[in-house]
A and B are shown apart, each in its own frame.
Chain A
Amino acid sequence: MASAGAQSKMIREGPFRQWRWDNFERRIIPYIFLAPFLIIFAVFTVYPVIDSFFISLHKMDSLDPSRYVGLDNYVRLVTRDSRFHKSLINASVFALGTVFLQLPLSLGLALALDSRRIKYRAIARMGFFIPYITSAVVASMIFQFVFEERYGMINGLLNALGYEPVPWLRSAEVAMPTLIIVGLWTWVGSNSLFFLAGLQSIPEELKEAARIDGATEFKVFWHVTFPLLRPVTTFVVTLGIIGSYSLFAQPFLLFDGSGPRDSVLMPLVYLYQRGFESFKLGYGAAIGYLLTVIIIMVTGIQLALMRKWGS
C-alpha cells in the first residue's frame, strides 16, 4: 500500500511527470515558433490574395459598395484595353533588354573580375555593388538630371564630342532605351557579383583538367564554366524577368508616370494609376491578378527553356 502510494507520487512529481511535460512541450513548441509567421501570413498574405481575386470580379469605385460583374474586368483587359497591352509590350521589351544586354555584360564583368590578373578587385567589387543598394527613388532623382536635355552630363559629353543633344526623357522613341540604360546601371554590377560568387564556387581542378586535355580558354569557358554556372544564370534571369514586369519607381519618377505617348508605361504603373489615382479598385485588382498569371507563364517558359538548354 505504502509502496503503491510512493509510486503514484513519483509518477505525479518525479522524473516521469517531467518527461511527459517535456514531451508535450516538444510537440507543441514548433507551432509556437511558427505562430507569429502563420498569423502574419494569414492576415496579410493569404486573406488579401483571396480577397483581391474577389474584388477583381467586381466593379468597385473607391471603397463604396461594389457590383458583381463576373469576369468583365478580365475580358476588358484582354480584349479592349490598349493601354494595358501597351504596358505589357513595354515590360517585355524591357525584359528582353534585361536578358540580352545585362546578362552578357555582367557575365563578362564577372569573368574579368575572376581573373588573377585584375588589380584592385576589392574596390571594384564595392563599386559594382553600390547601385544595387541605392534606392530606386534616389537613382531616378540622379538620372533625371544626368539625362537632362540641356545641362545633363550625357548630353554635355555628347556636345563635347560634337554630337547633337538627345532628348532622353522627352522623346517617345528614346524613352525606352533610356529606361534600359538606367536598368543596366542598376543591375549589371550586382549581377556580375552574383556570377562572380558562382565562378568562385567552381573547383579550379575541373578547368585545369580541361586545359591539360588541350582545351582553349574559350572552350574551357563554353564547356566547363558556363554549364556549371547554370544555377546562377537561372537565378539572375528569373529575377531579371520578374523585376522587369514589376518595375515601378524608375519609370514613374523619370517619366512622370508613363512617358511621352505611353512609351514607357509599365504594368505596375498602370495598376497604380487605375487603382489608386482613379480609384477603380476592382479593375486594379484584375490588373494585379492578370499580371501575376503572365509573370508566372513567362518565368515558366523561361525555366523550361533553360532546362532544355542545360540537358
Chain B
Amino acid sequence: MLLRRHLGTAALNGFILVGLVLTIAPLVFMISASIRPESELFSFPVTLYPKVTTGDNYSSLFERTHYATWYVNTFITATVRTLLAVFLSAMAGYAFAKFNFRFKRFFFMLVLITLTLPFHVLVISLFKLMVVFQWLNSYWAIILPSAVSGFSIFLMRQYILSVPDDLIDAARVDGSSEMGIFWRIIVPLVRPGMAVVGILAFAATWNDYLWPLIVLSQKERYLLTIGIATMDGPYEVEYGAIMAGSLLSTVPIVIVFLSMQSQIIAGLTAGAVRE
C-alpha cells in the first residue's frame, strides 16, 4: 500500500515534469538561439546548450532593423489602448452594476453580443472605414476599434457589483457628485479588476498580428509582431537575431502576467468557475 502510494506520487510528479519540460524547451531554445552564432545553430549534432556565446544577434537586431522603433511604437500604442480600456469599461461597468435606466437590458445585450462576435465578420468593412478615416498606418486604427470590449465591461460589472450600495448612498448624502463617487469610491475599490482588464488589453495589443498586418504597411510604423515576422525574410537578418527580438518582446509581458497570474485566471474564467 505504501509502495503503491510512493509510485503514484512519483508518477504524478513525473507527469508534471514531462509536461513542464515540453512546455519550457522551446523557450529555452529561443534563449539559447539568441546568444549563439549562426554557424553553431546550423551544425551537427543538434544541441540545446550553446558552446560559444555571442552578442552579435542582439547588435544586428538593433543595427540592421527598426527593432527599437517597433518596441517604442508598441509600448505607446498598448499603453494608450490599455488606459482607454480600463477607464471606459469601468465607467460602463459602473453604469450596468449600480444604476437602473431605460434600455439597460438592451444595452447589456449589446455587451454580450460583442462577447461572441468574431473579428472576421467585420474586418473588411472596418478596413474600408480606416481608409475613409485615413487611419492606415495610424495607431488610432489599432487603439480605437477595440478600445472597449464586451468582456472587459462584463468583468468590471462583476467587480463593481460587489461594492456595497450603502457606501455609494452615503457619499451621495454627503453631497458628492456622481463623477466624484466614481473616481473616489468605485475606482479605488475595483483596482484589482482594473488591473486584470488592463493587462489583458495590454497583452492583446502587444501580441495581435492580423489587424496590424492589415492596417500598417510602413516599416517604421510597424508594431513588434509584424516587425518580428518580417525579419524572417531572405534579405533580412539571421535567425539568431529573430530569436533575440522574440525574447526581448516576450520578457516584459511574461513578468507582468506571472506576477498577477491568479487574478488573471480568476478573471478569465469569471462565470465559468463558481466562487
Contact = CB atoms under 8 A, between A and B. Distances in A.
B196 interface: no
A124 B239 CA distance: 29
Interface in A57-76: 63
B178 A119 contact: no
B9 A117 contact: yes
A217 to B, nearest CB: 10
B265 interface: yes
Contacts of A145: 29, 33, 41, 239, 243
B243 to A, nearest CB: 7
Contacts of A267: 120
Given A45-B117, A185-B23, A108 B15 contact: yes
Given A44-B145, A135-B249, A138-B228, A37 B121 contact: no
Contact of B232 (A29, A144, A155, A159): A144
Interface in A122-172: 123-131, 133-146, 150-153, 155-157, 159-160
A231 B272 contact: yes
Nearest to A26: B178
B124 A128 contact: no
A232 interface: yes
Interface of A: 22, 25-27, 29-31, 33-34, 36-38, 40-41, 43-45, 47-49, 51-52, 54-56, 63, 108-109, 112-113, 115, 117-119, 123-131, 133-146, 150-153, 155-157, 159-160, 185, 188-189, 193-194, 197-198, 201, 231-232, 234-235, 242, 246, 248-249, 253, 267-268, 271-272, 275-276, 281, 284-285, 287-289, 291-292, 295-296
7 contacts: A30-B104, A31-B95, A36-B92, A48-B126, A157-B46, A231-B271, A272-B210
Interface of B: 8-9, 12-13, 15-16, 19-20, 22-27, 29-30, 33, 41-48, 88-89, 91-92, 94-95, 99, 101, 104, 107, 110, 114, 116-129, 131, 144-148, 153, 172, 177-178, 182, 203, 206-207, 209-210, 213-214, 224-226, 228-229, 232, 239, 242-243, 246, 249-250, 253-254, 257-258, 261, 265-266, 268-269, 271-275
